[in-house]
Chains A and B, each alone.
Chain A
Amino acid sequence: MTDLLLNAVASGILLGGFYAAVTVGIAISFGMLDIGNLAHPAFIILGSFTAYILNSNFGIDPILAGVLVIPGFLLLGWLIYETYYWSFERRGEEGLRGLAFFFGLLFITEVALILIFGVDYRFVEAPYIGPSLHLGEVDLPLRMLVPAAVSVVLVAILQLFLSRTFLGRAILAVPQDSGALRLMSVNPTHIKRIAFSISIATAALAGSCLIIIQPVEPSIGRDYIGRVFAICVLGGMGSFPGMFTAAILIGIAENITATFYGPSWSPAVAFGFLLLTLGFRPTGIMGR
């Protein structure tokens, strides 16, 4: 019983670590830029499929594949932000029509993937998928350990970028004081565009991590909508350390639920967390 629990917690921590990679993009686009990008999970699935193509056709390691497609995803983020800005932010109607826009993108991406790849599960092959690390009673599957490690590195790099570089600090300044930015002759829109592109680029890497952990088919992005927003909100919106903690908490909670009550209950865990948090303790997100 205890080693079942120990293993559930251990892989929950790893799962949570991976969830941080999935959420960091939202922490930037929603937590910092206040853009309700509901389509983020779809881009992660897109990242999974690009990793799948590169892996199954050219034998490229999935993580490497994720890194290779980052420029493409940066461009994608750039284009999406441009459309978003010209259609909504400029007119001051970003709130709800923007949401409908991203929801539409989520849907289009999912359906496009179904049309191209069908509904079958796809998976990648790599030497670390399969073996596990044994630490006493606890088994740490490498296919979860590697993504968790990648996630830590990714978030750490981003954190350094945001706190140490001029560009990064400009991004942090956007929600706080766009006026001051302008005075420093930095265009806030340009900064937001870069930040948003970065957030989409993280999806490339997160996607390759995902397909390492589990086989992927187009519609599983939906399960992640609740997760990423739950983690982002629980983690205090823009804070990376908060987000990481929240991610691990949810990872553990989901895993324990799956282990003791069955995997068919796990989609509800994150969403349930979200509803409870929003309903009873939504610090900092009250009212219009």
Chain B
Amino acid sequence: MSKLTDHIRELPSRRDPPYRPLATIDDAERAEITSKLGSTENYFDLLQLRELIKEDPDNIEFRRAMVSSIASAEYAGVDAFSRKVCEWQDWDVPWSLIIAMARQTWDEVRHSQLATGVLESYGGKIGDYPDTLAGGGPPPVMQSAAGGAYAAAAESLFRDPVASLSMVNVSLEGGALTAFQETSKLGERIGDELLAHCYDYNWADEVTHTAIGDYFVKALCQDDPEQERKALRAHAFFEMSRGPRLNDEQSQELKEFFAEEIQRAHAVLGGSH
């Protein structure tokens, strides 16, 4: 293991102002968000934030909340992809993949700058709202869940390039395509040219990120059905965690996939069924 990787792993994720995950805010801050947005749940739900803006385009606070929520994920992206640039050098992956992660880090930096700029145009700033995603792994409440087993499982998945690329680049960034397209359309609808332009720009980058992920997953899985299965499993795992947004038959397809996975695990472990 390289010294750089060791060093990076020991470093806390830092931002100024510091990350403040939504799961860790106190009752006073929850009450403040409720007074601004109607409920804290509205802040966590990008679809609902867009709906609030459509309902009352003159309420600039709704726009501040929506862009704060997106900015939070962009900052987490800078943290996540820059760590990959360092950590994945210890893995047997093509150098071009490391360079692709470096490129994506800079894309996330630019997206963070864009989001910060849009937020400032509304009179807001980073830290006004808590973070919907915080860099440097799951928040404390998740880290302690199931005696730390959940965090350990997530950690191990995110440190595997095939699984990580499937979950983050292909599934998450693929999902972000819709989020940014809809946000850009919202900007057009309410006459907010800056919002429309910035998120159209972001959308184009997300297409590239998804393409990067898919390209390298294909390369790493070539002629290796087990690796390909792992990539599918990681994609399914990630999509399952967003279950409520799936339709009936899509959920059924996922359930059948996992049922097959359980059968495979039984077979490997020597079970009868």
Chain A bound to chain B = no
